[in-house]
Amino acid sequence: MPAMSPTAPRRSRSPLAAAIVAEAVRRIEADGPLDDAAALAQAFRTRPTRGEQLLERAWLLGQRLGLPAQLARGRQAGWGVLLALALLVALTGLGLARAVLGEGRHINAVAAFVSLLGLHGLTLALWLLGLLLPAARRAGAPLGRLALWLTAHLPLARGPHALTLLRSLGTVLGRHGLLIWLTGAISHGIWALAFVITLVVLLFGFAFHAYTLSWESTILGAGFFQRFVQLSGALPALLGFPVPDAAAVQQVGNLAAGGATGISQRDWAWWLMGCVAVYGLLPRALLACFSAWRWRAGQARLARLDMTDPYVRVLIARLDALEPPPQVIDAEQRAPAGPAPALPTAAPGAPGTLAVIGFELPPEQAWPLPGLPTGSTAPLRIAGGAAEREAALAQLAAHRPDALLLAVHAPSSPDRGTARFLREALPASRRAAVLALGAGGAGRWRDWLDSESFQAVALVQSAPAAIDWIASGEVSGHA
């Protein structure tokens, strides 16, 4: 296994950018492979795992195509799109309400409440409903998707691969279930900013203009509006916003009879702004933070590639071909040359058959392992030599056990040779598990299995746990 260069380049890139560029390169290569000999060799030399090597290769090719720079331009343009959409949403609500922008100074307070919060409430309900529907979760929030689409089509951010990057973003996020959270964070952020703008305009208008707030209706009585104002003002009142009482509601309902006092008008103005803040700004700000948190928590999954994908497997095979032939470092640890004792075996691939292999265990480790079934064939112990590995793989291919248990030394670090052997051994069995022997290191092996996309390989840390896994007969990963 070649050592990773100590001067490996460390590029500051986010998991999202790396995943988008990798998917974009994949789409571009669908029309024909790129010249990647230098990129493949550099990725093999500077990155420790196959997953990181594939992402590094794609990043190097993407740099040649200008993809990271185009992503950076799109990210900068996206802030302008967010601000423009927030202004549009805010002005739409204010225009519908006609609270400040209208020609007259008479405002129907309840109609303004519905106009300012109605569209927001409808879209918020649809987003919450979308969390329960798989199709809606994959589609994401419409306002967030609109922001992404506009960003990709802006002249300043648009490039030869802008649409490819946009489709790659949707594919990557949809694959990992993160599209709903990214578009949700964008959508809720736009709404939150729109409500901030709305509140600033309302505060300015009420502070420097004399508006008359009232309610008007042809078919609804004062009792309905009294209940509406008291119910809608309950939460704002908890934050200190004044709420018009029943007398104030009755008073402004008949302006011609005597008008409303300045104090009651101030209460109506603060009630309207309090409702916008509590029912509009607050939930959108909280949901924007929650969506951003879910988005950040899920970004680690973006670095995981599907190692069973044909495109990925072709690249892995090319990376495997760059591996130098393994050499026996300690000849004394060579397995005995004598033939193994013949054991009664089940038919190849028979249910319940088991193969147990000790891989690069320390000399002091007892073998076969006490308390473990020996398997349907003689337990193998290999030190990592090429001949031993080939013999073990040949035996697995001949017997095709139902289950494969690979015992490793937990304190040791897994390497490319381990990944290569496990990847070549997996097709010979229906299910497999890694038994981490020794104190400490199990977490490192679990992370390594994740990074190499061995999700179907279970991880057990003791002989009893291995026995339970053997008896279960289930194909289950370690996570």
Residues 249 and 345 in one domain: no
Structure-block tokens of residue 108: 């129907």
Residue carrying the six token digits 């309207």: 272
DSSP symbol at 378: P
Q: Do 171 and 277 share a structural domain?
A: yes
Task: State the Cα–Cα distance between residues 317 and 50, nearest whole angstrom.
Answer: 10
Distances (CA, A) of 392 to 123, 166, 357, 459: 60, 46, 8, 21
Give the end-to-end CA distance of the chain in Å, rounded to a whole number. Answer: 28
Q: Which of 87-91, 114-118, 138-142 has the lowest mean pLDDT?
A: 138-142
Question: Are residues 99 and 161 located together in one domain of the fold?
Answer: yes
Share of the chain above pLDDT 90, in %: 5
Report the alpha-carbon distance of residue 61 to residue 50 in Å, rounded. 17
> Are 379 and 277 in the same domain?
no
- pLDDT of 283: 95
Lowest mean pLDDT among 59-73, 258-272, 273-287: 258-272
**Rounded Cα–Cα distance for residues 265 and 244 (Å):** 9
Q: How confident is the model at residue 285 (pLDDT cuts 50, 70, 90)?
A: very high
Residue 123 lies in a domain: yes
Note the pLDDT of residue 334: 46
Same domain for 172 and 85? yes
Chain-wide mean pLDDT for the chain? Answer: 76
Q: Are 348 and 400 in contact (CB under 8 A)?
A: yes
Tokens, residue 257: 């009879």
- C-alpha distances (whole Å) from 108 to each of 97, 202, 213 are 9, 14, 6
* Residue 328, domain member (yes or no): no
**Residue whose token pair is 């569209």:** 119
Strands, E assignment, 323-414: 354-359, 380-382, 403-409
- What are the structure tokens assigned to 471, written together? 């008896």
Are 92 and 162 in a shared domain? yes
Same-domain check for residues 232 and 285 = yes
For 357, 373, 474, the CA distances from 368, given in Å and listed in that order, are: 9, 9, 24
The reported pLDDT for the residue numbered 287 is 95
Q: Residue 20: is its pLDDT beyond 70?
A: yes
| Position 259 in a domain | yes
pLDDT tens profile 433-469 = 998 888 777 888 888 888 888 878 888 888 888 888 8
Task: Answer with the one of 280, 302, 324 that is the final residue of a domain.
Answer: 302
Integer Cα distance of 418 and 330 in angstroms: 17
| Residue 404 located in a structural domain | yes
Q: Please give the residue range of the domain that contains residue 357.
A: 340-472
Q: Which of 302, 325, 360 is the last residue of a domain?
A: 302
pLDDT over 60 (residue 265): yes
**Residue 280 placed within a domain:** yes
3-state secondary structure of 8: coil
pLDDT tens string 322-357: 776 655 445 444 444 444 444 344 444 566 788 888
On whether the CB atoms of residues 312 and 54 are closer than 8 A, the answer is yes
Q: What is the largest CA-CA distance in the chain?
A: 112
The lowest-confidence range among 105-114, 137-146, 159-168 is 137-146
Residue 465's CATH number? 3.40.50
For residue 307, the model assigns a pLDDT of 74
Whether the per-residue pLDDT at 479 is higher than 70: the answer is no
Residues 88 and 149 reside in one and the same domain: yes
- If one compares 392 and 140, the residue with the highest pLDDT of the two is 392
Answer yes or no: is 454 within a domain.
Answer: yes
User: Alpha-carbon distance 58 to 241, whole Å?
Assistant: 55
Whether residues 291 and 424 share a domain: the answer is no
- Percentage above 70 pLDDT, the chain: 74
Q: Comparing 117-126, 157-166, 267-276, which segment has the lowest mean pLDDT?
A: 157-166
Say yes or no: 119 and 219 in one domain: yes
Look at residues 73, 48, 43, 72 and name the one whose alpha carbon lies nearest to residue 58. 43
Task: Assess if residue 463 is contained within a domain.
Answer: yes
Rounded Cα gap, residues 184 and 187, in angstroms: 5
| Whether residue 363 sits in one domain with residue 274 | no
Residue whose C-alpha is closest to residue 461's, from 473, 446, 475: 446
Whether residue 195 sits in one domain with residue 276: yes
Whether residue 479 lies inside any domain: the answer is no
Closest CA to 441 of 466, 464, 414: 414
Residue ending a domain, among 278, 302, 326, is 302
Residue 168 CB partners (closer than 8 Å, separation 6+): 20, 21, 23, 24, 27
**DSSP state, 433?**
E
Whether the pLDDT of residue 359 is over 50: the answer is yes
| Distance from C-alpha of 418 to C-alpha of 444, rounded to nearest angstrom | 14
Give the residue with greater pLDDT, 409 vs 149. Answer: 409
Instruction: Tally the domains of the chain.
Output: 2
